[in-house]
Amino acid sequence: MDVQQLVDTIRRKSSFLCVGLDPDPARMPAHLGKGPEAVLRFNRAIIEATADLAVAYKPNVAFYEAMGPEGWAVLSETMAAIPDGCLRIADAKRGDIGNTATRYAQAAFEQWGADAVTVAPYMGRDSVEPFLDFDGKWAILLAATSNPGAEDFEFHGAEQGAPLWRRVFEVSRGYRGAERLMYVVGATRPSLLADCRAAAPDRFLLVPGVGAQGGSLEAVCDAGWAEELAGGLLVNVGRSLLYASAGEDFAEAARKEALTIQHSMALALASSR
């Protein structure tokens, strides 16, 4: 999926919703059973209930690794269940160099069927470009995240001219294949999100933190909107949607939550035209 295809999908669905598929067996409805097969049933039901409302899905690889060898199969089958036309994001936060980075990219793109993978860029160019060597695939760089520990590194370095998060934006624009870069920016610091948008006016931002983490969709749109990209935002929602109900109606409840979010997104898109 290229930029124009993603923009067209956002406009067609009046949505920029990314569903985070981070299945926690302890919170899944009991009637699904237990084990990897239950997780796959859960994921398929969520996808089926939201496929017309979401433009992207983001399985976090750790939730599948934790299931052992069967978890890898569940991850691949979950990716396969995501309909064509939706961006498949492997949230793996890889960060290594050379042949290792290439193997990570092969796993995400060739084995799991992902269109994009999250990457920690702090080892520099040679930890990112191997992901961009795959035609039509995206790397989504961690830039200014919303977790408390982001203060440890991401916001340091201003005394040398720019904090680390800003250098991620500035330096990565010179990477081979940089037109297929996106950036992760947390929803819980709107003023920072506005600064990140100014640093990357022509790039998509993957924005976690709306919903259970307390981020506001309205504030995200106000701070991060990029008109020429139909907003240029992929707003990830996970727990508040996945676990909207713990009963047999979990998929219907997830759809209701997705509809509420999509309605707000449609209003934002309509008001921007």
Query: Which residues are known to be catalytic?
Result: 93
Question: Which pairing describes strands 233-237 and 54-59: parallel, antiparallel, or unpaired?
Answer: unpaired
Residues 6+ apart with CB under 8 A from 141: 118, 119, 120, 121, 128, 168, 172, 181, 182, 183, 184
Q: What angle do CA 42, 45, 47 make, to 5 degrees?
A: 110
Q: Cβ(67)–Cβ(27) under 8 Å?
A: no
Residue tagged 């302890």 (tokens): 26
Distance, in Å, from the CA atom of 47 to the CA atom of 256, rounded to the nearest integer, reads: 13
- In the three-class reduction of DSSP (H, G, I as helix; E, B as strand; rest coil), residue 2 is classed as coil
The CA R_g of the chain, rounded to the nearest whole Å, is 18
End-to-end CA distance of the chain: 24
> Which tokens belong to 106?
């092969």
Residue 50 bridge partners (DSSP): none
